[in-house]
Amino acid sequence: MNKPLISLIIPCYNQGAFINEALQSVYNQTYSNWECVVVNDGSTDDSESIAIKWVNKDNRFKYFYKNNNGVSSARNFALEKVNGAYIQFLDADDLLNSRKLELSLNALVEPQSENKQIVISNFRLFSNKIKNSTAPYCILISELFTFESILYKWNESFSIPIHCGFFEVSLFEDIRFSENLTAQEDWVVWVEIFKLNVKTIFLDESLAFYRQNPDSRTKIKSIYRDQMLAYEYFKTILSKEEYRQLSKTLISRYYIEQEEYKKRLHLVKNSNSYQTGLMIKKALKKILLLSLFRKLLPFLLKFKSK
């Protein structure tokens, strides 16, 4: 049986606490013909020494260092180095099920999978241990994997972690991650890929694990700027009608969210607990004013007598 080479791409920036576990999940793959390109994006922690240990352990790991320029730049750098027929992305703080490569490749080589170019698997969330993983933050179903859904419904009802995907390398001949973005770059790439009218296979198995890391870039920084930059970038790759529809969708979503916020605020303000707290606050204000007046009254009387 032909065993094509699969290229894994792992960008890393100060992920020394997690990268060893990520590389272990690559090493544990049941499919053996792979290369793993680790790109150190200017880390200042021990990420480099950990990665080099794996390179020395297994020559399927390849290590590169570059000056810090963001996750998109690191992935693009790696795309220039890969030799495989298929691409598997993995962030340095996430993990893969040991059968991710095997099952994804098997799905693509099935006779009925002719002309399919992507396999998307399901995923689970974890913080420390996979055995304590929890349900994903959204429900993935095959009906979502269309250009329209990914463009207009992303961040509203679902999003797809990049390591859920397994891609034919040919899809990245002309597609790269936008280096102006530090978040939402995955969304842009998914849109560009599905704009090619690709056919997808969905494996409803949890083959990817997404770490809920409180120190990740999306947790400690607002992604508002990146959302706006992504919106601007879409103008260059979408038709006028697609861009108009995206604008309408995002504006409508904003107003719906504002209306929902107003409704929730109204319910809170009319709740018994809120009204009780308001009464207590008013009462305390009156008590404090009364106490202040009593302290001032003797002084005022003395002033009047003069």
CA distance 239 to 176: 19
* Contact status, residue 211 vs residue 127, Cβ threshold 8 Å: yes
Report, as an integer, the average pLDDT of 288-295.
62
116-126: strand order across its sheet: 61-66, 34-41, 6-12, 86-89, 165-168, 116-126, 199-211, 95-96
Give residue-wise pLDDT tens across range 55-95.
999 999 999 999 999 999 999 999 999 999 999 999 999 99
Give residue-wise pLDDT tens across range 236-261.
999 999 999 999 998 887 777 777 77
Residue 182 main-chain phi, psi, to 5 deg: -110, -5
> Which of 42, 35, 62, 66 shows the shortest CA–CA distance to 51?
62
What pLDDT does residue 220 have? Answer: 44
CA distance 10 to 290: 67
